[in-house]
Structure 1
Amino acid sequence: MNINKIKTRILYVVATPIGNIKDITYRAIHILKTVQLIAAEDTRHTQNLLNHFNITTKMISLHKYNEHKITNKIIFLLNTKNIALVSNAGTPAIHDPGYILIHACHKENITVIPIPGPCALIAALSASGLPGDNFYYKGFLPKTTLSRKKILLHIQNIKETIIFYESCHRILYSIQDIVSYLGENRIIVLVKEITKIWERIKYGKAVDILTWLKKDDLRQKGEMVIIISGMNNHNNIIPIKVQRTLSILIKTLKMKQAIQLTALIHKIHKNQIYNYAIKKFLHDKK
């Protein structure tokens, strides 16, 4: 038995920087240098990282469009090699390619070893000032208004901290929908360009974040993480002027009509005042 034989059949899941190249770990550099192959989301992008650290390991492409097709080939190669899996930025398989390959490795009894490091959602959450012991992560918000509405209504009463990714092209629409369906007083933290030169963390009420974004187009640029506070009594505060309008209308109208008209008058979504109206007037007005 050759005790010097190098162990193979290992897939290393390697986290890489999400912005600042200095965030890579010593261990990640060592693994990328010593494996026989790197499976990269975009080989051209990863080549810049390898060049910076004088890493000459060969690469193979694994991205969301070829992952099903290439997985069997990588599984075969793992019989005689150790391979590192990387995405363009952050931790593979966390809203990036890699899940299919990792799942297949487990089924084939191939060792999977994580090399931890940068992850945008965790980095953003750690600096948000919102509870991080229990959270709900849903990737990117949907592209269409209707789909965003469905998701926001689905999560509106969740008590855990909520995390979404968002692109610069849709950030205004998404924050506006958060105001409409979760309430203008809902606390959110907008984390943009994390670890990069234009990094900014903005904490405040949803309506104030929306106003802040609208004041300067440059604030709408970059990669975004939206962190939303879970539902609590503070988030559900209804402005006094809205309460007064509703109190007047509900004396002469059915509850549903009073809610709809109040929302129309104050240009807010009816869902913002529905729960308040139910709790306050249900026993008095049917």
Structure 2
Amino acid sequence: MDQTLSPGLYIVATPIGNLGDITLRAIEVLRGVAAVACEDTRVTGKLLHHLGLKKRMIRYDDHADEVARGRLLALMAEKPVALVSDAGTPLISDPGFRLVREARDAGLAVTSLPGPSAAIVALTLSGLPSDRFLFAGFLPNKDKGRADVLAELATVPATLVFYETAPRLEAALCAIDTNLPGRTVSVARELTKKFE
């Protein structure tokens, strides 16, 4: 790739576990950007260190206000900026859609670099049908909210894919058993890591 990157936003997928699961193009783009917008500078710092890169990191998440987004947009108008998540493809149950929307509205170039996604890796390992699936992100925290979402999805004729945290997994599985009886469930964790 060895060319200067144009100003704009580069959405860069990062490994979901195994640091070797990053594309050559992602490394080249990270090498060429002026800054990296990220959820957690500690997590992104580890990846950049692993890649031998020192980059300006700017914390960015869904709680970022218009002023923070405005500063990033101003930087993107003049220099290339990467957006990464802690793991996987940015914007998939991660922050960033407002930044992408505002960059597009401002006429800035937006480029997405494909790569790992925990939802797709889990689906391919599950043995469940993958010709039709619906990714539904995280279920709500509260029992009623979970039940309402699952009731809404009960008639969807496709494999349903959810993200869930370890502390909430048991409650989510109980809600799925109650609200989606007869559905086969697959649970995946530590994807691409030693104890997958």
Normalising by the residue count of structure 2, what TM-score does the alignment of the two structures yield?
0.93
Contact 1:67 1:100 in 2 (8 A): no
> How many residues get paired?
194
Is 2:188 the partner of 1:191?
Answer: yes
Q: Hey, what's the Cα distance between the residues in 1 that align with 2:154 and 2:177? A: 11
Q: Give the SS at the match of 2:162.
A: strand
Aligned residue runs from structure 1 range 120-269, under 5 A: 120-183=118-181, 185-199=182-196
Partner Cα separation in structure 1 for residue 139 and residue 112 of structure 2: 27
Q: Name 2:82's counterpart in structure 1.
A: 84
- Cα distance change of structure 1 residues 144 and 94 upon mapping to structure 2, 3 Å threshold: same
Partner of 1:72: 70
User: What amino acid is aligned across from residue 40 of structure 2 in structure 1?
Assistant: D
* Root mean square deviation of aligned Cα: 1.6
The aligned amino acid for 2:192 is T
Structure 1 residues 6, 25: closer, same or farther in 2, change over 3 A?
A: closer
Q: How far apart are the structure 1 equivalents of 2:5 and 2:113?
A: 17
CA distance in 2, matches of 1:168, 1:91: 20
**Contact 1:67–1:101 (Cα < 8 Å) also in 2:** no
* TM-score computed with the length of structure 1 as normaliser: 0.65
C-alpha separation in 1, matches of 2:67 and 2:77:
18
Partners in 2 of 1:109 and 1:65 — Cα distance?
23
1:30-41 matches, within 5 Å, as: 30-41=28-39
What amino acid does structure 2 have at the position aligned with 1:42? Answer: D
Superposition deviation, residue 134 in structure 1: 2.1
CA deviation after TM superposition for structure 1 residue 57, in Å: 1.9
Give the whole-Å Cα distance in 1 for the aligned partners of 2:192 and 2:144.
Answer: 33
Aligned-pair CA distance for 1:32: 0.6
Aligned residue for 2:123, secondary structure, equals: helix
Q: 1:78 to 1:175 in 2, by over 3 A?
A: same
Moved more, 168-177 or 60-69: 60-69
CA contact (8 A) 1:8 1:79 kept: no
Evaluate the alpha carbon distance shift between residue 7 and residue 116 of structure 1 in structure 2; reply closer, same or farther with a 3 A threshold: closer
Question: Counterpart in 2 of 1:51?
Answer: 49
Which letter does structure 2 place at the counterpart of 1:70? A
Which residue number corresponds to residue 24 of structure 1?
22
What are the superposed Cα offsets for residues 82-120 of structure 1, whole Å, 9 maximum, x if unpaired?
111111111111111111111111111111111111111
Distance in 1 of aligned mates of 2:130 and 2:86 = 26
SS, match of residue 78 in structure 2? coil
Q: Taking every aligned residue pair, what percent have the same amino acid on both sides?
A: 39
Task: Measure how far apart 1:9 and its partner are.
Answer: 2.5
Which position in structure 2 is the counterpart of 1:236? none
Say if 2:4 and 2:32, in contact at 8 Å, map to a contact too: no
| Structure 2 residue aligned with 1:242 | none
> Do the aligned residues in 2 keep the contact of 1:67 with 1:97 (CA within 8 Å)?
no
AA at the equivalent of 1:133: D
Q: Tell me by how many angstroms 1:131 deviates.
A: 2.1
Distance 1:68 1:21 in 2: 33
Gaps of 5+ in 1: 200-286
* Residues in 2 aligned to 1:8 and 1:192: alpha-carbon distance in whole angstroms: 37
